[in-house]
């Protein structure tokens, strides 16, 4: 009987997961963290034999316990939560207190350095926040930046602007012709401008800009360069290198 590994990236907005067998991804799924974390999210795989569950989480202990109870009830498996260390898989952490670093940021850095060894790297994880991590060719995480993501930027403007009720659903880099599109397009422009600057910076170092996270599916269409790589599952890919 085939045994599968379940890998979970548990973020503030979405829970992304995939079932793997060796190096092959069997099935993927995504649910909203605040609304859809129940047995239904695993309907397609509930009857399969899951032997290991690996979780990278940045959410509360309450939500973590919810996931733990869910996988234990379905497969009788204890969820293993990834923790941040001073060193892992040949990568050195820049934090004085490594445990204070977000687990997703650390696992993405490990995945990037493992997939592209001896390269200067910038990892842009574009989700609720835009996490920017820098890893040297020698495998040292030297620091990063955290910016609001596209949705948070829009919400900040909408919350503090009395006459703006909602942002445009679709954003592009055209000039806005009403307040809603001006907000949405302006936020997109800011994110693109940051990523373009980083793309140029990495190009000067003969390094790579790696794009991941939910909003990277949109942002990658605006960032040009041979050194730009789109890796939508970079955090989940990190599990393969921490065994």
Q: How many CB atoms lie within 10 A of CB 220?
A: 19
Q: How many CB atoms lie within 10 A of CB 66?
A: 15
Strands 4-10 and 14-21: antiparallel
Choose the catalytic residue: 9, 104, 125, 215.
104
Q: At what angle do helices 179-204 and 150-159 cross, to 10 degrees?
A: 140
Q: What is the DSSP letter of 59?
A: S
Burial 197-217 (b: 16+ CB within 10 A, else e): ebbeebeeeebbbbbbbbbbe
Annotation says 178 is catalytic? no
From CA 182, how far away is CA 240, in angstroms rounded?
Answer: 42
Burial of 129 (0-12, 13-18, 19+ CB in 10 A): buried
φ/ψ of 142, rounded to 5, equals -100, 0
From CA 32, how far away is CA 107, in angstroms rounded?
Answer: 21
Strands 87-88 and 91-92: antiparallel
- State the catalytic residues: 104
């Amino acid at each position: 009987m085939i045994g599968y590994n379940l890998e979970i990236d548990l973020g503030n907005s979405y829970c992304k997961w995939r079932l793997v067998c060796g190096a092959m991804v069997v099935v993927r799924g995504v649910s909203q963290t605040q609304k859809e974390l129940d047995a239904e999210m695993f309907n397609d795989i509930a009857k399969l034999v899951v032997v290991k569950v690996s979780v990278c989480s940045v959410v509360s202990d309450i939500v973590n316990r919810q996931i733990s109870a869910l996988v234990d009830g379905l497969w009788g498996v204890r969820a293993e939560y990834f923790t941040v260390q001073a060193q892992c898989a040949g990568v050195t952490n820049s934090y004085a207190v490594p445990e204070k670093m977000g687990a997703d940021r650390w696992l993405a850095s490990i995945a990037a350095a493992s997939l592209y060894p001896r390269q200067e790297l910038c990892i842009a994880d574009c989700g609720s926040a835009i996490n920017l991590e820098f890893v040297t060719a020698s495998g040292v995480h030297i620091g990063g930046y955290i910016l609001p993501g596209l949705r948070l930027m829009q919400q900040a403007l909408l919350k503090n602007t009395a006459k703006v009720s909602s942002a445009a659903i679709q954003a592009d880099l055209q000039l806005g012709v009403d307040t809603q599109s001006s907000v949405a397009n302006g936020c997109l422009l800011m994110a693109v401008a940051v990523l373009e600057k980083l793309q140029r910076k990495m190009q000067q170092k003969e390094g790579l800009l790696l794009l991941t996270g939910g909003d990277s599916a949109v942002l990658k269409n605006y960032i040009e360069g041979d050194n730009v790589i789109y890796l939508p599952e970079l955090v989940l890919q990190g599990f393969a290198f921490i065994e």
